[in-house]
Amino acid sequence: MRKLDTRRIVVASHNRGKLEEIAALIGPHGFEAKSAAEYGLPEPAETGTTFEQNAYTKAFAAAAATGLPALSDDSGLCVDALGGQPGVYTADWAEKPDGSGRDFLYAMTKTEDALQKAGATQPAQRKGRFVSVLCLCWPDGHAEYFRGEVEGTLVWPPRGNKGHGYDPVFMPDGHSRSFGEMETAEKSGIGAPLSHRARSFAKFEQAMLTA
């Protein structure tokens, strides 16, 4: 495994929620991190069929453009009763039909409608997981991957207004509150990471930031 020998990296994302969460995770380690948006980089088309493929697309584009290692995240919600959907298309499900952009209340409602259509009305039928794949990519194309998952149950109606994306409808196993009701620090769970992104970052931290 190639080690990270610099504290200057690019966070290959234009998603404000992801940027804030990743910044909170890498900040204590003294990183000088700027986002792809701060470098004026366009968002590459995500045409992969796996989280790993899409994470690599974003990280390599940013690394090649800046000459710096780039860290990207591709994540999504996989619902068992929906055959693993929305999966890598999680953000696409938030695209409103009128072309006015992404609306995650619309996405959560779309997911709930699909669950109802599938007859998934009881908690045991509404299981799923959040998946996060971090990709650290160097300008030469070399990449390392770190995957984190958290199991949970889809709840309705949405609970809480914290977090981002589908957080208000996802209640992690062993808890009675949704991610939308939890502070970022609680989801990051120092020593016992709870969120999928915190778990993938814990693997990144162990591999890249410890001697």
Q: Is 145 exposed, middle or buried (0-12, 13-18, 19+ CB in 10 A)?
A: middle
B/e letters for 195-211, b = 16+ CB within 10 Å, e = fewer, are bbbbbbbbbbbeebbee
Residue 105 amino acid letter:
L
Options 5, 73, 74, 113, the catalytic residue: 74
Q: Give the containing element (helix H, strand E) for 113.
A: helix 104-117
Active site residue 103: no
Distance, CA of 96 to CA of 71 (rounded, Å):
29
Positions annotated as catalytic residues are: 74
